[in-house]
Amino acid sequence: MPHSRILIYIPDLISARFPSDKGRPRLLEKFLSRARAVPVKREFDVLEECFQLPPEEFPVAALERLGETGTRNHACWWRADPVHLMADRDQLVMLPQAMLAATFEEMRQIAETFNKDYAAEGCKLEFPEPERGYLQVPADWRCHGWNPASVAGKAVTEFMPSGADADRVHKLMTEIQMLLHTHPVNQAREAAGQPTINSVWLWGGGPLPDRAARAPARIVSSLPLVRGLAKLAGHTCESWPAEPGAQTVKGEWLVALSVNDFGADLLRLDQELMAPMWRALLRGRVREIRFYPGGNSVYELTPLPARHFWRRARPLVEQLRGPDDLPAH
């Protein structure tokens, strides 16, 4: 059997919501039922292992920006995502980002206002996507942030920045909230009955590393984060769709996608991704498949337990639990 392994990385699978009337993804359920669940401490542990980055803060923003722009910039970058914080009794709760439905034009106007006010302080805000922004700051702020996907629906006081420079980050977030309070974009949204963009959530900060120590032999990904890691390591990154299980696997392969690559359709994911993976595993083309669906476990399956037909495939909702508030280090 070839000494080989495939890592499937779909971090938004665990928090996705799929129509229940389309049927069950039988292969995905079978995979998870027969696989061994291995705990992970942090959301990006499996990627750190793949690329052997230094055991420090995982600079999500700098890596994603590299993947989106292709430009190496070793300044300190933070993810700056538009959110709505809603008062609920005596606390602030973050709405799921999908409910905000911000537009390119709205975020362009907000970035323009911010950059006029903060250019002298060495800050720059940009939004390549309406739901995803990047903030350049003048120094490497030592601070832990939280992915807003793990904060949505919860009291934000439990997820505020922490670390040596947490006060600086919190202060800037508060100033941005004040800037947004009377911004014309929010006046228009309020008049239209839409939730306002009343905060920008900062997380995933840090400077771009000089290099990655290694990379998988083949990388297939639509994710800016993984495309940035590939570029950092000097490797090419293939676009989806691809069929990683069509030939004998040599070395380690990484397939990093979003549920949106399958139209948020689990049956498509089953047919287009899991079916060739099963064939590769059962025909001896791959030694092991690891699957990270988000949350606090990675699922590992080898050919022998893959044939354990007596292990009943349980519904996906029973097997995948929501993320246990993993920090976005």
* DSSP-assigned states of every residue in 19-54: -GGG---HHHHHHHHHSEEEE-SSTTHHHHHHHT--
pLDDT in tens, 244-274: 555 555 788 999 999 999 998 899 999 999 9
Looking at every residue in the chain, the average pLDDT score rounds to 88
Question: Is 191 in the same domain as 235?
Answer: no
* Assigned domain for 60 exists: no
Question: Is 77 in the same domain as 201?
Answer: yes
Question: Is 171 in the same domain as 236?
Answer: no
Question: Is 132 in the same domain as 188?
Answer: yes
DSSP for 119-175 reads: GGGT-EEEEEETTEEEEEESS----B---GGGTTTSBGGGG--BSTTHHHHHHHHHH
Question: Is 84 in the same domain as 15?
Answer: no
Domain final position from 156, 179, 207: 207
Q: Do strands 288-292 and 4-9 pair parallel, antiparallel, or not at all (unpaired)?
A: parallel
Residue 188: predicted pLDDT:
97
195 φ, ψ (degrees, to nearest 5)? -65, 140
Residue 167: predicted pLDDT:
94
The rounded percent of the chain whose pLDDT value lies above 90 is 59
Residues 192-204 have a mean pLDDT of: 95
Question: Is 230 in the same domain as 299?
Answer: yes
pLDDT reading at 289 higher than 50? yes
Residue 82: predicted pLDDT:
96
pLDDT reading at 55 higher than 70? no
How far is it, in rounded angstroms, from Cα 19 to Cα 217? 36
How far is it, in rounded angstroms, from Cα 308 to Cα 286? 17
Residue 23: predicted pLDDT:
77
pLDDT in tens, 77-118: 999 999 999 988 788 899 888 889 999 999 999 999 999 999
Residues 192-214 have a mean pLDDT of: 93
pTM of the model: 0.88
Question: Is 83 in the same domain as 157?
Answer: yes
How far is it, in rounded angstroms, from Cα 291 to Cα 299? 5
* Assigned domain for 299 exists: yes
Query: Of 20-24, 210-214, 278-282, 324-328, which gets the smallest average pLDDT?
Result: 324-328
Q: List strands edge to edge, sheet with 124-129.
A: 124-129, 132-137, 76-83, 199-207
* Assigned domain for 129 exists: yes
Q: Are 43 and 11 in contact (CB under 8 A)?
A: yes
Domain final position from 188, 207, 226: 207
Residue 16: predicted pLDDT:
77
Domain that holds residue 311: 4-54+210-319
Question: Residue 63: pLDDT band by 50, 70, 90 thresholds?
Answer: very high
Residue 319: predicted pLDDT:
81
Query: Of 85-89, 103-107, 125-129, 191-195, which gets the smallest average pLDDT?
Result: 85-89
Question: Is 242 in the same domain as 265?
Answer: yes
How far is it, in rounded angstroms, from Cα 181 to Cα 176? 9
Dihedral angle sign, alpha carbons of residues 44, 204, 170, 166: positive
* Assigned domain for 66 exists: no
Residue 20: predicted pLDDT:
61
Residue 93: predicted pLDDT:
92
Per-residue CA distances from 80 to 169, 176, 217, 234, 309 (Å): 11, 11, 32, 27, 46
The set of residues, in sequence order, having a beta carbon less than 8 Å from that of 263 and lying 6+ positions away, is none
Residue 322: predicted pLDDT:
45
Question: Residue 124: pLDDT band by 50, 70, 90 thresholds?
Answer: very high
Per-residue CA distances from 283 to 86, 116, 132, 180 (Å): 52, 60, 41, 57
Q: Which of 260, 259, 263, 262 is nearest to 294 (CA)?
A: 259
Question: Residue 325: pLDDT band by 50, 70, 90 thresholds?
Answer: very low
Domain final position from 173, 207, 241: 207
> Of 183-192, 296-305, 317-326, where does the model show the most confidence?
183-192
What is the number of domains present in the chain? 2
* Assigned domain for 328 exists: no
Q: Are 255 and 227 in contact (CB under 8 A)?
A: no
pLDDT in tens, 230-243: 999 999 899 887 76
* Assigned domain for 62 exists: no
Question: Is 30 in the same domain as 83?
Answer: no
* Assigned domain for 103 exists: yes
Residues 302-307 have a mean pLDDT of: 90
Question: Is 86 in the same domain as 191?
Answer: yes
Residue 324: predicted pLDDT:
43
DSSP H/E element including 252: strand 251-256
Residues 55-61 have a mean pLDDT of: 81
Question: Is 91 in the same domain as 185?
Answer: yes
Instruction: For residue 192, give both structure tokens.
Output: 């239209």
* Assigned domain for 152 exists: yes
Question: Is 177 in the same domain as 192?
Answer: yes
pLDDT reading at 166 higher than 90? yes
How far is it, in rounded angstroms, from Cα 167 to Cα 114? 20
